[in-house]
């Protein structure tokens, strides 16, 4: 009973922290990136201010939009929020652990993406449609790559949930495996695409023709835009949590033991900080690629995922 | 006549509660019988028949013959009845296709004859690889498995929507029923692992080609038919994994894959007829099903639009939709299968998983295109702008199917529990693991998040909305004579598919985006047939002297052969 209560508290704490810190993480990445480029950059809390500003703006609805215009932001936000609740952050053994199957997670990402694409098509103008078509193309490869990576996780960890995979990887006797290296590279490529970061899309871009994620939201304003923006911040958080939990599960707390929480929280914050730094370093080092180069980029990720699986099979053959 | 007679009777003895009719083969009669498998497929079939009949096809005799023949096939207790029902179904559906559009009817008739030519000998052959391959060719051709699928996107959209719905949702399932019955029950003892591998390969090819073409096709009903190819392929992949695992003695994996395949059949039998009926209503309201001429239908047809959205969520296998649980089970079955067998098989399963991932995302793209281009945005023609909502009967039919989707979407565990006898019949003594996808908890989580967002915004944000002209990055408003803007400035269905066409279709499809089965199988076959016709025509037109020369040459050849063989 006590364990259950502790797990409940840990789950609520996790959900609260993820939702509260997602804008801060986005602000941190923007700030670090600006500093690395030699600029001062907006303050770290700028995303909170943006959200607050949107809260106080009137919501405009284009006259060509249908009645479903106001549904898509909620669907997108809800699916992303669901994913945020399922991916463990500072602690393992949360109450949502059993629901958090990798394939459910992929499905939730797909749901959020579908709602965003429909939002782009909603008012029937060219920019949103073009961006949605590009997003559809990217998602084809991203989803395939993610599924292929999953095969190595499940074969190594014998568990299909994020929690189970992290627990198996944390126990440590796996050592450093070539397969997991490939899987990490592939997962990073997918994560960059899904969160709309630089080699595939530019979150701070201003040219409508070159934008993907932002161009789908051009006709949105006020509280609906807030939901989309917040969902984008949450998505960055979810992917960082996912990569941190799966590939760097060391030091994660156990939800049933309250004494392990502070260490877990500190390490989690540290991991997020390091990943934010790595992301901004990567972003200033690369340029955005052409739309039709992205399938090649993600195709490489898919190939790496397949290679990770093949190495595992060969290793099992030699070892067993 | 002894051997067929024995086979005819022994088909029905499996359960022992067969029911003989007074007509049929002389001395044999026809036997009807109900076991768990046929009950399951009847449960898939009956709602579709009811919905289609409700929606439009009550008065047509051919429709009722078609529906009755499908039921007869499922109830068949002996091979003769099975073939009789199957062929009656083919003939009735051919008549319905012919009435809708004469062009694909010939191709359809040819494919139906091919599948009959494979199935009829197969059911009378002793259990073995040859018989299985014939059943696979016969039933697979009818179910739209690659490479014999190319008739399906042509023939299924031809008849009126109610028949299309039943063909896609029902006829494909009946063909798969025959495949399941023979592969798992009749030939079960002789099953070999490679049977499953063949089935997986055919299924994987159908999944990929079906999903890709669904993304590219502009006609609404053709697109839905391509998606049917995809789903038939998904079911075949599940069945193939189950067949292979069962032959290799891995019953747990077999039952997992069977769960996925059968649940996929159930879900597809609900949402696909729904979408076809909706496409028929769109056709009735606007006079076209080309997505490039639709747009903004959600304004004129709000109720139909919502039902289409529900069906589309199933087609794209989105979480909390009816299509997600089967996809979940199938993906897990593929992952589990990758842990068994030789290294080549494992790499093959990894590639299969990549293919399924590609197809799942393509299906999502196709659905976004269907809803986003067809139902959202601005109208692209006056007909689309003036569309009124579908009539009550169509909405009732679709609503019935949508209501049945709810338990499949939210309580797949209960549905799987009801399927338990079927699983036990097909993979005896297996103990399937409970479903690890929990839609109810997921639903509660998501509902909590949505409620928090809704009430949070109500409490803290500025309420209300203001309708304004769309911004479109500062482009001017359309001229007065084009109230919805120039259709050419809108994203079109063709344009939406263009990135995928450039990046993927060029590698997978034949040149000019033709289906590979058409380009590499049907076209060469038609060339061969043309050439043979020319030869026959040449022979027919030959003069008396040439004919005498033929006869003389034949005689000389015969004598030469005789002399050589005798002399040697």
The residue whose two tokens read 């299909």 is A160
Q: Is residue B104 part of a domain?
A: yes
Which residue carries 């949502």 as its tokens? Answer: A96
How confident is the model at residue A203, as a pLDDT?
78
pLDDT tens digits, one per residue of B202-250:
999 999 999 999 999 999 999 999 999 999 999 999 999 999 999 999 9
Which of B299, B316, B380, B449 to mutate to test binding with chain A, by most A CBs within 10 Å of its CB? B449
Same structural domain for residues B32 and B131? Answer: yes
End-to-end C-alpha distance for chain B, whole angstroms: 41
> Measured between CA atoms, how close is A38 to chain B, in angstroms?
31
Q: Could you report the per-residue pLDDT of A81-92, keeping only the tens digit for each?
A: 999 999 998 999
CA B140 vs CA B69, B206, B241: distances in Å: 18, 11, 16
pTM here is 0.93
> Pick from B309, B319, B468: which is nearest to A63 by CB?
B468
Domain annotation covers residue B115: yes
To the nearest whole Å, the CA of B489 is away from the closest chain A CA by 6
Question: Which of B415, B430, B445 finishes a domain?
Answer: B430
Scanning A218-247 for CB atoms below 8 A from B yields 218-219, 222-223, 226-227
Please report residues of A whose CB lies closer than 8 A to that of B485.
64, 124
Residue whose entry in the numeric block shows the structure tokens 């995928």: B500
Same domain, B525 and B405: no
Interface-testing mutation among A19, A125, A187, A231, with chain B (most B C-beta atoms within 10 A): A125
Burial pattern A43-73, b for ≥16 Cβ within 10 A else e, equals ebebbbebbeebeeeebbbbebbbebbbbbb
Sequence-ordered list of residues with C-beta below 8 angstroms from that of B269, at least 6 positions apart, any chain: B44, B45, B47, B48, B169, B170, B173
Using DSSP's 3-state secondary structure scheme, residue A60 falls into strand
Nearest Cα to Cα of residue B317 among B327, B308, B307:
B327
Tokens for A84? 């945020």
In tens, the pLDDT along A214-223 reads: 889 989 999 9
Please identify among residues 106-145 of chain A the ones whose CB lies closer than 8 Å to any CB of chain B: 107-108, 110-111, 113-114, 117-118, 120-130, 132-134, 136-137, 139-145
pLDDT of residue B7: 44
Q: Report the C-alpha gap between B206 and B226 in whole angstroms.
A: 9
> Are B339 and A155 an interchain contact pair (Cβ–Cβ within 8 Å)?
yes
User: Would residue B116 count as lying in a domain?
Assistant: yes
Query: In terms of domains, do B408 and B525 share one?
Result: no
The DSSP secondary-structure symbol of A101 reads: B
Please report whether residue B475 resides in a domain.
Answer: no
Last-in-domain residue among B408, B430, B452: B430
Closest CA–CA distance from residue B503 to any residue of chain A (Å): 7
Residues B63 and B211 in one domain: yes
Same-domain check for residues B199 and B342: yes
Neighbour count for residue B434 (Cβ, 10 Å): 8
- Chain A residue with CA closest to B347: the answer is A310
Q: Are A233 and A47 in contact (CB under 8 A)?
A: yes
Q: Report how far apart, in Å, the C-alpha atoms of A313 and of each of A218, B204, B339, B365, B410 are.
A: 47, 22, 8, 33, 36
- Complex ipTM: 0.95
Q: Tell me whether residues B500 and A140 touch, CB distance under 8 A.
A: yes
Give the other-Cβ count within 10 Å of A92's Cβ.
23
Per-residue pLDDT of chain B (568 residues; tens, 9 = 90+): 333 434 444 444 344 566 777 676 766 778 888 889 999 999 999 999 999 999 876 778 999 999 999 999 999 988 889 999 999 999 999 999 998 888 899 999 999 999 999 999 998 888 889 999 999 999 999 999 988 999 999 999 999 999 999 999 999 999 999 999 999 999 988 889 999 999 999 999 999 999 999 999 999 999 999 999 999 999 999 999 999 999 999 999 999 999 999 999 999 999 999 999 999 999 999 999 999 999 889 999 999 999 999 999 999 999 999 999 999 999 999 999 998 888 899 999 999 999 999 999 999 999 999 999 999 988 988 889 888 888 899 999 999 999 999 999 999 999 999 999 999 999 888 887 777 888 999 999 999 999 999 999 999 998 889 998 888 878 777 777 777 777 788 889 999 999 999 998 888 888 888 888 889 998 999 999 999 999 999 888 989 998 899 899 999 999 999 999 887 5
Q: Which residues contact B301 (CB under 8 A, 6 or more apart)?
A: B281, B282, B285, B375, B387, B388, B389, B390
B541 with B421, same domain: the answer is: no
Overall residue count recorded for chain A in this entry? 320
Residue A175 is encoded by which pair of tokens?
A: 């050592």
Spatial contact of A95 and B330, defined as CB atoms under 8 Å apart: no
Cα–Cα distance measured from residue A260 to residue A254, given in angstroms and rounded to the nearest whole number: 6
In angstroms, the Cα distances linking B554 to A314, B24, B558, B560 are 61, 46, 6, 10
C-alpha to C-alpha distance for B173 and B187, rounded to whole angstroms:
19
Residue B117 maps to a domain? yes
**DSSP tag of B435:** P
- C-alpha gyration radius of chain B: 26
Q: Do B372 and A132 touch (CB under 8 A)?
A: yes
Q: Which residue in the block uniquely carries the two structure tokens 């569309």?
A: B387
Range of the domain at B225: 2-430
Distance CA A22, CA A28 (A): 10
DSSP assignment letter at B389: P
How far apart CA B149 and CA B209 sit, in angstroms, is 10
Q: Are residues B403 and B547 in the same domain?
A: no
| Chain A contact for B454 (CB, 8 A cutoff) | yes
SS3 state of residue B158: coil
**B241 and B108 both lie in a single domain:** yes
What's the farthest any 2 CA atoms get from each other in chain A? Answer: 65
Pairing of strands B19-25, B29-32: antiparallel
Query: Does one domain contain both B391 and B535?
Result: no
CB B384 within 8 A of CB B297: yes
Within-domain flag for B527: yes
3-state secondary structure B286-334: HCCCEHHHCCCHHHHCHHHHHHHHHHHHHHCCCCCCCCHHHHHHHHHHH
All residues at 6 or more sequence positions from B509 whose CB lies less than 8 Å from its CB, including other chains: B209, B212, B213, B515, B516
| Co-location of B186 and B318 in the same domain | yes
B477–chain A Cβ distance below 8 A for any pair: no
Give the pLDDT of residue B203: 96
E strand or H helix at B468:
strand B465-468
Report if residue B492 sits inside a domain: no
- Structure-token pair, residue A281: 């370093």
Per the structure, the count of domains in chain B is 2
Residue with tokens 């797990």: A7
Residues A300 and A294: their CA atoms lie apart, in Å, by 10
Chain B partners of A217 at a C-beta cutoff of 8 Å? Answer: none
- Compute chain A's Rg from CA coordinates: 20
Quick one: closest CA in A to B339, which residue?
A155
Q: Is B460 inside any structural domain? A: no
pLDDT at residue A238 above 90?
A: yes
Tell me the three-class secondary structure of B490-511, residue by residue: CCCHHHHHHHHHHHHHHHHCEH
**Residue where a domain terminates, one of B411, B430, B449:** B430
User: Do B226 and B362 have their domain in common?
Assistant: yes
pLDDT at A31 over 60: yes
Lowest mean pLDDT among A70-74, A205-209, B536-540, B547-551: A205-209
Same domain, B34 and B179: yes
Q: Which residues touch B288 (CB under 8 Å, ≥6 apart)?
A: B294, B381, B383
């Amino acid at each position: 009973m006590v364990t259950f209560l502790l797990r409940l508290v840990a789950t609520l704490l996790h959900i609260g922290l993820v939702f509260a810190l997602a804008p801060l993480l986005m602000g941190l990445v923007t700030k670090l990136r600006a500093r690395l480029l030699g600029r001062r950059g907006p303050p770290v809390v700028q995303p909170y201010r943006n959200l607050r500003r949107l809260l106080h703006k009137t919501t405009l609805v284009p006259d060509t939009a249908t009645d479903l215009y106001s549904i898509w932001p909620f669907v997108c936000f809800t699916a992303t929020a669901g994913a945020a609740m399922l991916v463990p952050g500072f602690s393992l053994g949360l109450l949502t652990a059993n629901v958090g199957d990798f394939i459910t997670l992929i499905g939730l990402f797909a749901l959020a993406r579908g709602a965003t694409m429909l939002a782009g098509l909603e008012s029937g103008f060219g920019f949103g449609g073009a961006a949605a078509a590009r997003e559809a193309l990217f998602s084809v490869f991203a989803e395939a790559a993610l599924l292929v990576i999953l095969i190595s996780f499940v074969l190594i960890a014998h568990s299909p949930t994020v929690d189970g995979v992290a627990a198996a990887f944390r126990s440590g006797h796996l050592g450093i495996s070539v397969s997991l290296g490939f899987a990490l590279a592939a997962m990073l490529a997918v994560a960059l695409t899904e969160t709309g970061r630089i080699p595939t899309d530019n979150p701070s871009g201003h040219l409508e023709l070159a934008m993907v994620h932002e161009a789908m939201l051009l006709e949105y304003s006020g509280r609906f835009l807030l939901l989309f923006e917040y969902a984008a911040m949450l998505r960055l958080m979810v992917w960082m949590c996912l990569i941190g939990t799966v590939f760097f599960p060391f030091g994660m707390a156990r939800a049933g033991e309250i004494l392990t929480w502070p260490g877990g929280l500190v390490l989690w914050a540290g991991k997020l900080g390091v990943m934010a730094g790595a992301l901004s370093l990567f972003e200033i080092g690369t340029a955005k690629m052409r739309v039709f180069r992205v399938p090649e980029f993600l195709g490489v990720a898919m190939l790496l995922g397949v290679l990770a699986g093949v190495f595992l099979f060969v290793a099992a053959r030699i070892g067993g | 006549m002894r051997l067929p007679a024995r086979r005819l009777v022994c088909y029905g003895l499996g359960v022992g509660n067969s029911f003989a009719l007074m007509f049929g083969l002389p001395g044999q009669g026809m036997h009807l019988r109900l076991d768990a498998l046929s009950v399951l497929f009847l449960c898939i079939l009956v709602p579709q028949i009811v919905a289609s009949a409700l929606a439009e096809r009550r008065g047509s005799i051919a429709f009722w013959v078609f529906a009755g023949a499908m039921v007869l096939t499922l109830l068949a207790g002996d091979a003769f009845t099975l073939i009789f029902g199957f062929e009656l179904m083919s003939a009735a559906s051919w008549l319905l296709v012919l009435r809708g559009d004469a062009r694909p009817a010939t191709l359809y008739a040819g494919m139906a004859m091919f599948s009959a030519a494979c199935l009829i000998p197969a059911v009378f052959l002793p259990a073995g690889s040859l018989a299985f391959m014939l059943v696979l060719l016969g039933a697979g051709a009818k179910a739209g498995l690659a490479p014999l699928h190319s008739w399906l996107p042509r023939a299924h959209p031809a008849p009126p929507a109610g028949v299309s719905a039943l063909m896609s949702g029902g006829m494909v399932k009946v063909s798969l029923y025959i495949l399941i019955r023979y592969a798992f029950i009749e030939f079960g003892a002789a099953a070999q692992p490679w049977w499953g591998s063949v089935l997986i390969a055919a299924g994987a090819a159908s999944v990929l080609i079906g999903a890709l073409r669904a993304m590219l096709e502009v006609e609404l009903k053709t697109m839905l038919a391509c998606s049917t190819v995809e789903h038939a392929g998904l079911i075949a992949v599940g069945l193939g994994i189950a067949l292979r695992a069962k032959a290799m003695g891995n019953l747990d994996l077999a039952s997992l894959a069977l769960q996925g395949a059968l649940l996929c059949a159930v879900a597809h039998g609900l949402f696909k007829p729904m979408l076809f009926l909706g496409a028929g209503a769109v056709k009735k309201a606007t006079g076209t099903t080309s997505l490039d001429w639709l747009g903004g239908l959600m304004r004129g047809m709000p109720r139909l639009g919502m039902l289409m959205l529900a069906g589309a969520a199933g087609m794209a296998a989105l979480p909390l939709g009816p299509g997600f649980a089967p996809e979940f089970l199938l993906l897990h079955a593929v992952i589990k299968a990758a842990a068994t067998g030789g290294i080549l098989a494992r790499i093959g399963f990894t590639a299969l998983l990549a293919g399924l991932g590609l197809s799942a995302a393509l299906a999502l793209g196709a659905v976004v295109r269907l809803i986003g281009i067809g139902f959202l945005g601005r109208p692209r023609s006056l007909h689309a702008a003036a569309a009124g909502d579908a009539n009550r009967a169509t909405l009732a039919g679709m609503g019935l199917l949508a209501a049945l989707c709810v338990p499949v979407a939210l309580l797949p565990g209960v549905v799987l529990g009801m399927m338990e006898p079927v699983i036990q019949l097909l993979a005896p003594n297996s103990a399937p693991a409970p479903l690890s996808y929990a839609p109810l908890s997921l639903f509660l989580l998501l509902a909590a998040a949505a409620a928090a967002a809704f009430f949070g915004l109500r409490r803290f944000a500025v309420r209300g909305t203001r309708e304004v002209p769309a911004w479109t990055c500062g482009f001017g408003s359309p001229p007065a004579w084009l109230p919805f803007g120039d259709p050419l400035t809108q994203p079109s269905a063709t344009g939406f598919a263009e990135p995928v066409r450039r990046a993927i279709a060029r590698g997978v499809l034949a040149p000019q985006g033709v289906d590979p089965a058409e380009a590499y199988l049907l076209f060469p076959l038609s060339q061969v047939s043309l050439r043979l016709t020319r030869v026959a025509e040449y022979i027919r037109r030959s003069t008396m002297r040439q004919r005498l020369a033929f006869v003389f040459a034949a005689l000389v050849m015969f004598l030469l052969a005789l002399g050589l063989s005798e002399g040697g």
